[in-house]
Amino acid sequence: MGSNRVIFFIFNSVHLLDLAGAVTVFYESGCCGKNYNIHYVSPYDNPGTSSGLGFTNVSPLNSVKVTMDDIVIVAGMEIEKWNRADDHLWIPWLQSAAAIGATISSICTAAFALAAAGILNGHNCTTHWAWTTALQQKYPLLKVIENKLFVQSGRIFTSAGIATGIDLALYLVEEQHGAAFACLVAKDMVVYIRRDGMEAQNSIYLQSRQHINHHIHQIQDYITKHLQHKITIGELAELAFVSERNLTRLFKSVTGITIGQYIQSLRQEKARHLLKTKQKVAWVAKECGYNSTAQLRKLVKEAKN
């Protein structure tokens, strides 16, 4: 792919986070030194979100001619409000974009739009876990893969939705600019890793954030952003304005694991991912906060057992 253009296709009743998460990745990429030319298109003059927010700076579909180097991302929408009477307004445009060889991506329920346009026929794909069965039943020519963050089939990508749109966008950035740069963008967004599409729709990062304690979320964000450095309980306790003892007790009570286990698990998961990208072991060790490559290899090996 040689283009730096990303075209976001917006349906009416689009889910805001499905759109905003992926947009932010390409925006932050520009902040980190690799610019993307971001366009917003829609078959509607003033599309609105499922949460009631409206858009004005959106171009009509026929004003943007898609090339094979473009990335087209269709954000998920509220299926119950998706007006299929308007198929003729957008299906030819999307089919043309796919036919010309552009990278076509869907986030969450937008997989239904790709399926309706026939773009997913014969392809592996995914969508949000709550909709995988419905997608497979409605479109039997697809092969719906369950419990995956995102699925690639040629130049067609489908993601599970919500935050997984971020993972997919980071993957597309990594394709163009490499794992080290994608890591930089992820850190800017306080996302500790670009999760791999082959992983399940959960991870140690998400599993340990299923709580509502704001202070512990702040601590987890800090750990995520400083994973490459030595992190002490003392500095974390200062951040939360509590004693080390109280922080240790509180962290385990809301996450189920100790601070040390949490840091080590994040480092192992991130290291396993980065090693799969064929980066140099020394760089991976430094990026994940290991003192040496030997320590990295030992801990990753232990995590497999």
Nearest to residue 81, comparing CAs of 112, 120, 40?
Answer: 112
What would the two tokens of residue 7 be? 């075209």
pLDDT tens for each residue of 78-104? 999 999 999 999 999 999 999 999 999
Residue 187 within a domain: no
- Distance between CA 212 and CA 61 in Å, rounded? 41
Q: Is 216 found in the same domain as 130?
A: no
| Structural domain includes residue 189 | no
CATH at residue 251: 1.10.10.60
- Cα–Cα distance, 38 to 172 (Å, whole number): 14
- Read off the pLDDT band of 8 (50, 70, 90): very high
Q: What CATH number is associated with residue 73?
A: 3.40.50.880
- One domain for residues 225 and 162: no
Phi, psi dihedrals of residue 165, rounded to the nearest 5°: -60, -30
The pLDDT assigned to 206 comes to 56
pTM of the model: 0.70
| Domain annotation covers residue 190 | no
Q: What is the pLDDT of residue 224?
A: 85
What does the pLDDT read at residue 204?
A: 63
Cα angle: 51, vertex 106, 189; to 5 degrees: 70
Q: Is the pLDDT of residue 178 over 60?
A: yes
Q: Could you tell me the CA-to-CA distances from 264 to 226, 229, 251, 290, 297 in Å, in that order?
A: 13, 12, 15, 10, 13
Report yes or no: 112 and 120 within 8 Å, Cβ to Cβ. Answer: no
- How many domains in the chain? 2
Closest CA relative to residue 38, chosen from 14, 60, 9, 77: 9
CA trace torsion 274, 279, 283, 284 (10° rounding): 20
Residues 147 and 224 in one domain: no
Residues 41 and 109 in one domain: yes
Q: Of 240, 252, 75, 103, whose CA–CA distance to 164 is shortest?
A: 75
Q: Is residue 110 part of a domain?
A: yes
Of 158, 156, 167, 201, the closest CA to residue 25 belongs to 167
pLDDT value of position 225: 84
> Would you say residue 126 lies in a domain?
yes
Same domain, 58 and 108: yes
Pairing verdict, β 150-153 and 156-159: antiparallel
pLDDT tens for 111-142 read: 999 999 999 999 999 999 889 999 999 999 99
287 versus 40: the higher-pLDDT residue is 40
Residues 56 and 148 placed together within one structural domain of the fold: yes
- What is the rounded radius of gyration, in angstroms, for the C-alpha atoms of the chain? 21
What digits encode the pLDDT tens for the residues 242-283? 999 999 999 999 888 999 999 998 888 888 878 877 788 899
Residue 209: pLDDT band (50, 70, 90) is low
Domain ranges, residue 296: 203-304
- Same domain? For 163 and 232 the reply is no
Residues 36 and 156 in one domain: yes
Q: Among 141, 161, 177, which residue terminates a domain?
A: 177
pLDDT over 70 (residue 196): no
Average pLDDT, rounded, for the chain: 88
pLDDT in tens, 36-73: 999 999 999 999 999 999 998 899 999 999 999 999 99
pLDDT at 200: 47
- Give CA–CA dist 155/254, Å, rounded: 41
Verify that 233 and 172 share a domain, yes or no. no
Give pLDDT, residue 117. Answer: 98
Domain membership flag for residue 182: no
